[in-house]
Amino acid sequence: MSTQQDLICEQIDNIKMAKVYERPDSLLDVRMHYCPGCGHTTTHKILMEIVDELQIKNEVIGVAPVGCSVLAYDYLDIDMQQAAHGRATAVATGIKAVQPDKYVFTYQGDGDLAAIGTAETIHSANRGENFLIVFINNGIYGMTGGQMAPTTPIGEKTATSPYGRDRATMGAPIDITGLLAQLPGTFYATRQSVHDAKAVRKAKKALTKAFQYQKLNKGLCIVEIVSNCPSGWKLTPYESNQWMIEHMMSLYPPGDVKAPSKEDLQS
Amino acid sequence: MSEVKFMKGNEALAEAAIRAGLDAYFGYPITPQSEILEYLAIHVPKRGGVVLQAESEVAAINMIYGAAGAGARVMTTTSSPGFSLMQEGISYIASAQLPCLLANIVRGGPGLGTIQPSQGDYFQAVKGGGHGDYHLIVLTPSTVQEMADFVYLGFDLADKYLTPVMILTDGALGQGMEKVTFPDYDPAKKKVAKPWATTGKSPNRSKNVITSLYLQPEKMEQINEELQAKYTKIRANEVRWEEYLTEDAEVLFTAFGLGSRIARKTIQLAREKGIKAGLFRPKTVWPFPYQRLKELAQQVDVIMDVELNAGQMIEDVRLAVEGAVPVLFHGRMGGMIPTPEEVLEKLEANLQPAQAGISQQEVAL
Amino acid sequence: MAKLKGEVKIAIETCKGCELCIHECPQDTLVMSEELNQRGYHYAVVAVDNCTGCTNCALVCPDACITVYREVRGKKQPIAQISNVTEDMTITIDGRQP
């Protein structure tokens, strides 16, 4: 993405025009496999915008575990490791231990982070690991075809909760970001979304902070992106975003859950 | 200068790892190997490096994956139930072709079992353990000295072949104390370039990706073929074994690790009684020294396999022998250790029918 | 002051027809095409020449299909400038705080 220094001006219809938005360089010019309107795709895009704007492409190592985003390394032009289901934060712990000066992030879905990988997630936070968890919470298992996730709202019908999620037998939706915020090792926990331009701007700001906080070495950052799953929810992309606002955001309201104070930000 | 110490096997393994230039260790406490984590926790920070007590063996092996993928010299150690938990990660590491050293200080199983020594994890170590077509190079020390020696060897083999290497040993060798000499070893000289590691994409190379996922079957088959080609190379180059009094042997003991020490003592007792016995001890149980054992089977009258299990390596022994001679077995399970006397007794009881040509199945069962 | 003139360029073969840009555009500049692209999707096209270059469509576009241009009047305008996090935690996009 262009910065002020290399702002490109072109003449279009005799008017001096500046390019004010373009695809980030670090997002490879390949077709992403995600369904139309999927929040994963938008999140990939803004992550790479940040990598380009912060000029940290040579210092970033990403981890993509099993889930819809397991092929993220095909799209992001950065060093990456694919991880076993649920183990992304353990893999990131290993990377950060031997590459402490690099920016390390995991990119995990709700099944990965909040079900099979809960132990790794909580203990990474509790150790105060200095990496970023990007947590895509769409309340469903997209990759395997729309099964219930730990974050699925009560009453929501999925392939494995065909009569709706029943609290008595299937438990209540789990708020992992809220849980992690309770731990002293968590430095910054925030919940965002990418369903409209305003939300994208905010999410980008939160993710930018979370990357930069790594240099403070003060603990784990988690940025939850409350997202959609048009295919899993069987809605159009726009409808899925409306459904998300109505049903997901009441459970997972956007905003900072734990934000560092001014003193915390002193290096 | 090499240095002589009197140490537990676990400590010798840990000290050797430090001297071999260990960058990072991730592990979880479990008897009978917790001394390794404890020893490293004391000494590694002083010399530089990472020691991290993970929340589980599952996490530990995935930390190994991450750190090995980021180019570090890494090790984890555990004991049987912990090694079972690591199998998923080991399969990923083998597929992603990452170098690392693993040690299983085996205890008696199955299940939670016992904390006493056993060789019950041979199948798990040699025949897979995790999912998919892969192998570990499996080194089986029989002395505290080898607990140290195989660490250096293991790290170097891992780097050479980009594969996980495993030290398969047991609680007796881990906890027992013996003299150990640490050789001169300069990790800086052994350091190999790892241009494939995820260290941050520098402008002069394309991105590095560590993965075991290939959705297209043609590609996945190709990856499997690469792995198999590597294993063929390892089978050709890295088979290691030791022989003891085999020149004139008529009875050949086969045993690895702790079992080989019992077999050695049995051989001495047997020779006192005029039985010409010898020992064939694989140091690598994968790759297994099939060829040399096949040659020895032409020379001896009978083979007796001794293990601390229900008979696991005996399957490889029989594969090597190809029915040429009867293969007897003596083993104890669940943390019990066979004595040389009982091994000899079993041998003598079977020697007559074996030499009279009764089939091996009848004898073994 | 008259509205700034904007322009979007859409990579139609990358477009998956999710329509999020159409809902996001405050000017109703965009519509879906009648035609299909090679992948079989209707794609976003400019229907009315009234774009102001606000970038909303591009920001919400998951597949980064949209490049946005905006008229430059007087001084150059920064498009995305991020200041050092530890000192001043502000990000400006188009010279404004989002």
**Does a structural domain hold residue A2?**
no
Contact (Cβ atoms closer than 8 angstroms) between residue B255 and residue B305? yes
DSSP-derived 3-state class of residue A46: helix
Please check whether residue A15 lies inside any domain of the structure. Answer: no
Which residue among C79, C86, C93 sits closest to A201, beta carbon to beta carbon?
Answer: C93
Contacts of A34 in chain C (CB under 8 A): 62
Q: What is the pLDDT of residue B270?
A: 97
Cα-to-chain-centroid distance, residue B316: 15
Partner-chain residue, chosen from A79, A92, A97, that has the shortest CB–CB distance to B199: A79
Give per-residue pLDDT as tens, C67-91: 999 998 766 554 544 433 333 344 4
Cα C70 vs. chain centroid, distance in angstroms? 10
Residues 54-93 of C with CB under 8 A from A: 54-72, 76-82, 84-86, 89, 91, 93
Query: Which one of B56, B72, B211 has the shortest CB-CB distance to A98?
Result: B72
* Tokens 């020594």 found at: B117
Q: Establish, for the pair of chains A and B, how many residue pairs have beta carbons separated by less than 8 Å.
A: 132
Within a domain: residue A130? Answer: yes
Least Cα separation, residue C46 to chain A (angstroms):
16
What total of structural domains would you count in chain A?
1
- Per-residue pLDDT tens for B154-202? 999 999 999 999 999 999 999 999 999 999 999 999 999 999 999 999 9
Could you tell me the pLDDT band of residue B3, with boundaries at 50, 70 and 90? confident
Phi-psi region of A146 (alpha: psi -120 to 50; beta: other; left: phi over 0): left
Residues 6+ apart with CB under 8 A from A127: A93, A185
The closest alpha carbon to A57, from A73, A27, A78, A30, belongs to A78
Domains of chain B (ranges; CATH) run 3-237 (3.40.50.970), 242-364 (3.40.50.920)
Q: Which residues pair with A186 in a beta bridge?
A: A220
Interface test with A, best of B26, B61, B62, B90 (most A CBs within 10 A): B62
Beta bridge partners of residue B206, listed in sequence order: none
Q: Give me the residues of A, 123-162, that contact C with CB < 8 A.
A: none
Alpha-carbon gap, residue B329 to B311, rounded angstroms: 7
Of the two residues A154 and C92, the one the predictor is more confident about is A154
Domain C6-72: state its class.
Answer: alpha beta
Average pLDDT value over all residues in chain B: 95
How confident is the model at residue B2, as a pLDDT?
A: 77
**φ, ψ at A177 (rounded to 5°):** -60, -40
Binary contact (B198, A84; C-beta < 8 A) = no
Contact flag for C and B (3+ C-beta pairs < 8 Å): no
Average pLDDT, chain A: 94
Structure tokens at A250: 């009441």
The one-character DSSP state at B2 is -
DSSP B170-224: EHHHHH-EEEEEEPP--HHHH----TTS-S---TTSPPPEE-----SHHHHHHHH
Q: Say whether residue B74 is in contact with chain A using an 8 A CB cutoff.
A: yes
Q: A residues 228-267 near B, CB within 8 Å?
A: none
- How high is the pLDDT of residue A9? 64
Label residue A92 by pLDDT band (50, 70, 90): very high
CA distances from A15 to A5, A126, B80 (A): 21, 56, 73
Residue ranges making up the domain that contains A77: 25-258
CATH number at residue A49: 3.40.50.970
Spell out which residues of chain B touch residue A63, defining contact as CB-CB under 8 Å.
66
B213 touches chain A (CB under 8 A): yes
Q: Across the strands, what pairs with C45?
A: C31
Is residue A85, in this structure, part of any structural domain at all?
yes
What gap in Å lies between CA A137 and CA A225, rounded to an integer? 6
- pLDDT of C72 reads 86
- CA separation for the pair A151, A110 (Å, rounded): 7
Q: Dihedral of the CA atoms A20, A24, A28, A29 (nearest 10)?
A: 0
